[in-house]
Amino acid sequence: GAVVSQHPSRVICKSGTSVKIECRSLDFQATTMFWYRQFPKQSLMLMATSNEGSKATYEQGVEKDKFLINHASLTLSTLTVTSAHPEDSSFYICSASWTGDTQYFGPGTRLTVL
Amino acid sequence: QKEVEQNSGPLSVPEGAIASLNCTYSDRGSQSFFWYRQYSGKSPELIMFIYSNGDKEDGRFTAQLNKASQYVSLLIRDSQPSDSATYLCAVNSRGGADGLTFGKGTHLIIQP
């Protein structure tokens, strides 16, 4: 149980384009979903927290107009990287929680912006 | 600022021995503590969590928590080469549905 999927697993795009990443909880309803980012040799850094039907809460330093988060249902959250630039290249990982505490992570999306 | 500190390693342990991984955290009000395993290029996989002081055992894994010392550890008994990975300590400071603060991880190598 507690399976979280992400799509796509890998994306390469040109600078200036927008990229949408989907995160789905497959066998449970996630009250809260989280988005993290991990640069090479670094740890995961929380970007934002989203609850179904509410606006996402962004961490300090994360541009909410650049990283658009939509949490339309209890099983789906999306992250859109708008006008992506090479410095946005990273490993984006979502997690989902139904207990309000333990988080289960998706497999991640590796974004490369050329 | 919340911080979670781990020795980056690499920590090299012979197969069959006990691997001991340590983590300290700065926020004294932290309530939940997690250990994740991350293989290169993959996302983290939950190993176990602990909320109360003391030990918690799950198979070959034992988590230890000492809130007074702000210290969490993970012991892996009978280490196997497949345990070679980066182990991430994560802390939930406020409890409930709150994002996790991760350490940078300890790279563990189990030598056959």
Q: Which residue of A has its CA nearest to B104?
A: A43
Answer yes or no: is pLDDT of B97 > 70: no
- Among A22-26, A70-74, B35-39, B102-106, the least confident range: A70-74
- Our CA dihedral for A76, B96, A95, A65, rounded to 10 degrees, sits at 70
Q: What mean pLDDT is predicted for residues A3-25?
A: 96
Q: Give yes or no for A62 touching B (CB within 8 A).
A: no
A101 CB neighbours in chain B (<8 A) are 32, 49, 92, 95-97
- Note whether B45 contacts A105, CB cutoff 8 Å: yes
pLDDT for B4-20, tens place per residue? 999 999 999 999 999 99
Q: Tokens representing A101?
A: 């505490």
- Our CA dihedral for B45, A22, A100, A49, rounded to 10 degrees, sits at 110
Q: Average pLDDT of chain B?
A: 93
Interface residue of B1, B6, B43 to substitute, partner A, most A CBs within 10 Å: B43
Q: What confidence score (pLDDT) does residue B99 get?
A: 86
- Note whether A93 contacts B44, CB cutoff 8 Å: yes
Distance between CA A36 and CA A25 in Å, rounded?
A: 16
Which pLDDT band holds residue A33 (cuts at 50, 70, 90)?
A: very high
**What pairing do the DSSP bridges indicate for beta strands B11-14 and B106-111?**
parallel
Which pLDDT band holds residue A49 (cuts at 50, 70, 90)?
A: very high
Task: Name the DSSP letter for residue A39.
Answer: -
Answer yes or no: is pLDDT of B51 > 70: yes
In angstroms, what is the C-alpha Rg of chain B?
13
Q: Higher model confidence: residue B43 or residue A51?
A: B43
Which pLDDT band holds residue B94 (cuts at 50, 70, 90)?
A: low
Number of Cβ within a 10 Å radius of residue B89? 28
| Sign (positive or negative) of CA dihedral A83, A84, A86, A88 | positive
Answer yes or no: is pLDDT of A31 > 90: no
- Note whether A102 contacts B97, CB cutoff 8 Å: no
Share of chain A above pLDDT 70, in %: 98
Identify which of A103, A107, A108 has the shortest CB distance to residue B100.
A103
Q: What confidence score (pLDDT) does residue A98 get?
A: 79
Q: What mean pLDDT is predicted for residues A93-97?
A: 93
Q: Average pLDDT of chain A?
A: 92
Q: Give yes or no for B43 touching A (CB within 8 A).
A: yes
Q: What mean pLDDT is predicted for residues A52-60?
A: 88
Which pLDDT band holds residue A17 (cuts at 50, 70, 90)?
A: very high
